[in-house]
Amino acid sequence: MTDELFMRRALDLAALGQGTTRPNPMVGCVVVGPAGTIIGEGYHQQYGGPHAEVNALASVEDQDLLRQSRVFVTLEPCSHHGKTPPCADLLIAKGVPEVVVCNDDPNPLVSGRGLNKLRAAGIKVSTGLLATEGRALNKRFFTMQEKKRPYVVLKWAESADGFLAGPHFQPVQISGPQAGLLTHKWRTEEAAILVGTRTALHDNPRLNAREWPGPQPVRITLDKNLSLPPSHHLFDGSQPTLVYTHRHRDARPNLDFITLPPDIAAAPDVLPAVLADLHARGLESVLVEGGPTVVGALLASDLWDEMRVFRSPRRLERGIAAPRVGLRSWRTAENVGEDKLFWFENH
Ligand SMILES: NC(=O)c1ccc[n+]([C@@H]2O[C@H](COP(=O)([O-])OP(=O)(O)OC[C@H]3O[C@@H](n4cnc5c(N)ncnc54)[C@H](OP(=O)(O)O)[C@@H]3O)[C@@H](O)[C@H]2O)c1
Ligand SMILES: [Zn+2]
């Protein structure tokens, strides 16, 4: 029970790195001294910065106590020289007798190596404590490592009668202000945000987080024939933007045009190639804000991880239909202002 509490504390610390460690995982670490109390804490704060173990061990005032301490860490300690020296070596050098790990490293090239190194040095090692919670915390990182694509969050707002836009693509405000605020928060939580060509054209979205503090996502749209008006907000250079196209256009500051190879461009669905390219760019997650064509393609090819649907109490009577999903399969449903938010997970 107490071990669980220590690991929970380590997970809470890890979560403080949300948004600043990506595409690295969030990692937390707690040092429990011989008296059974926490004598040191740390977390991975910044991509490229010191790992959680380094910060936690350094925070212990009496370094001699490390020889009688137990270290709780949320991810398998690294064993290779990356941007920083291996944490496994540090734990060994400090004489730590026991290490408790939450999640094994998902990278098959390094998985188990850190643990083996510790065990070979005579350190008592156990893994899997609160593993489910650890995977949930680092869902984006694990998806990126295991599926070689970003974590995909689908999001839209629909009317009570199942429409997400009026007839003839006329933009209508469907969800209320609280849903809008939450959407802006979500935009700070994902590395990228994607919309289809028609949404970019008709809604002219800014795709930034104006109503919530935090990092701005990379904006992404599809524009096969480069037909979107250059005066649209997406092309204003205010934040990094990627446009996937069949044509060629020179890059401008904060605006890149990515020409898809002819064989991919000819395919009916270019999204798998787009996701693979985002993965290659180290973008660990993408919030997909429609429209229904893009969302439908991702649903059909099972390239999604979460779906967040706002259902408004108001009716539209006619318009563009929202993707049909079994609303009974939601994991949670909650009220957000006047709207109902249904949250789905793809298992
Ligand atoms: N209520 C909401 O939450 C919400 C959110 C977003 C949008 N909307 C509404 O949705 C409407 C637009 O939806 P929509 O479905 O017509 O358009 P969309 O999904 O935004 O864009 C469709 C276009 O994007 C390209 N595209 C999409 N998926 C593709 C794929 N898998 N492979 C290749 N190309 C792909 C195609 O362009 P090409 O034709 O050039 O090949 C396609 O015609 C707008 O009225 C907007 O207001 C509502
Ligand atoms: Zn490390």
Q: What is the CATH number of the domain that holds 132?
A: 3.40.140.10
Cα of 292 from ligand 1 centre, angstroms? 6
- Ligand closest to Cα of 90 equals 2
Together in a domain, 162 and 80: no
Residue 327 confidence (pLDDT): 58
Together in a domain, 22 and 102: yes
Together in a domain, 206 and 131: no
User: Are 184 and 210 a contacting pair, CB within 8 Å?
Assistant: yes
Together in a domain, 47 and 135: yes
Is 158 tagged catalytic? no
Does 292 carry a binding-site annotation? yes
Together in a domain, 201 and 122: no
In testing the pocket of ligand 1, which one of 170, 175, 222 has its CB within 8 Å of the most ligand atoms?
Answer: 222
Tell me the residue range of the domain where 209 lies. Answer: 148-345
Residue 4 confidence (pLDDT): 98
- Which ligand 1 atom is at minimum distance from the Cα of 172? 47
Together in a domain, 188 and 280: yes
Residue 272 confidence (pLDDT): 97
Which of 53, 76, 189, 190 is flagged as catalytic?
A: 53
CB of 28 shorter than 6 A to ligand 1: no
Query: Of 102, 124, 142, at which residue does a domain stop?
Result: 142
Tens of each residue's pLDDT in the chain, 347 residues? 699 999 999 999 999 998 899 999 999 999 999 999 999 999 999 999 999 999 999 999 999 999 999 999 999 999 988 777 899 999 999 999 999 999 999 988 789 999 999 999 999 999 999 999 999 999 999 999 999 999 999 999 999 999 999 998 888 899 999 999 999 999 999 999 999 999 999 999 999 999 999 999 999 999 999 999 999 999 999 999 999 999 999 999 999 999 999 999 899 899 999 999 999 999 999 999 989 999 999 999 999 999 999 999 999 999 999 998 865 677 889 999 999 999 999 97
Residue 328 confidence (pLDDT): 62
Together in a domain, 165 and 57: no
Together in a domain, 103 and 210: no
Q: What single-letter amino acid sits at 341?
A: L
CB of 320 shorter than 6 A to ligand 1: yes
Question: 């393609």: which residue's tokens?
Answer: 297
Residue 57 confidence (pLDDT): 98
- What is the number of domains present in the chain? 2
Residue 47 confidence (pLDDT): 93
Tokens in use for 243?
């446009």
Rounded distance between C-alpha atoms, residue 146 and residue 135, angstroms: 12
Does 10 carry a binding-site annotation? no
Together in a domain, 184 and 287: yes
Cα of 54 from ligand 2 centre, angstroms? 8
- Which ligand 1 atom is at minimum distance from the Cα of 175? 1
**DSSP-derived secondary structure for 316-327:** -SSSEEPP---G
Query: Of 115, 142, 169, at which residue does a domain stop?
Result: 142
CATH number at residue 213: 3.40.430.10
CB of 275 shorter than 6 A to ligand 1: no
User: Helix, strand or coil for residue 134?
Assistant: helix
Together in a domain, 200 and 276: yes
Global pTM value:
0.93
- Which ligand 1 atom is at minimum distance from the Cα of 164? 1
Residue 325 confidence (pLDDT): 82
Rounded distance between C-alpha atoms, residue 339 and residue 325, angstroms: 18
Together in a domain, 99 and 186: no
Query: Of 113, 142, 171, at which residue does a domain stop?
Result: 142
Cα of 104 from ligand 1 centre, angstroms? 39
- Ligand closest to Cα of 114 equals 2
Protein residue closest via CA to atom 7 of ligand 1: 291
Tokens in use for 136?
């949930």
Residue 191 confidence (pLDDT): 96
Rounded distance between C-alpha atoms, residue 165 and residue 225, angstroms: 24
Rounded distance between C-alpha atoms, residue 278 and residue 149, angstroms: 7
